[in-house]
Amino acid sequence: MTGKTVLITGANKSIGFETARQLGQLGYRIWLGARDEERGKVAAATLVAQGYDVRALAIDVTDDESVKVAAARVQSEDGKLDVLINNAGILGGEMIAPSQQSVDIVREVYETNVLGPIRVTQSFLPLLKAADGANVVMVSSGLGSLGWLSDPDNQFHGINVLAYNSSKTALNAVTVAFAKEFSAFGIHVNSADPGYTATDFNGHSGYRTVEQAGKGIVWLAAQDKSGPTGGFYFDGTTVPW
């Protein structure tokens, strides 16, 4: 057992759930975050039955009070947090031309994909500081890479989704900002691209498995004090911002 703790938001299914399973295999105590408390409990119970140390944690990343209550519980029961994985995210409906994208939808996507990780990271910072060399992982997307999106030869060039893509680009900027500040606390902050993974998110059209996606996130989560900070990675290799 590592004795280390990790909170994963949006972890009751898909990539978040698989990431929890893989970290459970490594001996982490898992705080399985879910907006729907009952679904979180069911997911946690599944992993507990497999022999992992998992606790369901009700947390809605768009709600200040929910995040505050969640942080207070982790503080009360563990007193620290070694790893925070901001995984919760939404797509924002169907793919339509950017000029036709509803500003209300953009706002909704940003509330979860950008403001959510900011809110959670700020609230859990005292617990991250209490750990010895904590890691924060922002689950981003290759669709947030301006380098890839602007390259006509890249596989993602033709996927021009205003709300989702730009929210992940903004999340990458959040990663850099926190990484610069948190270096003084010995906390590393990085973005992870899980790749085009088959999940409910995309109607299971992705070519990667959740096991593959989780592996890259776990790689960042388990880095020691000599690991990277302020970077963007896909399966351990650097992704252009």
SS in 3 state form for 9-43? CCCCCHHHHHHHHHHHHCCCEEEEEECCHHHHHHH
Closest CA relative to residue 59, chosen from 16, 96, 97, 109:
16
Largest CA distance in the chain: 52
What is the rounded CA–CA span in Å between residue 4 and residue 240? 31
Structure tokens at 202: 């995309």
Structure tokens at 195: 């790749």
For the annotated catalytic residues, the residue numbers are 164
Do 143 and 164 form a contact (C-beta atoms < 8 A)?
yes
Residue 206, class by beta-carbon neighbours within 10 Å (0-12 exposed, 13-18 middle, 19+ buried)? middle
Structure tokens at 149: 């999106």
E runs forming strands in the chain: 5-8, 29-34, 54-58, 83-86, 135-139, 188-192, 232-234, 237-238
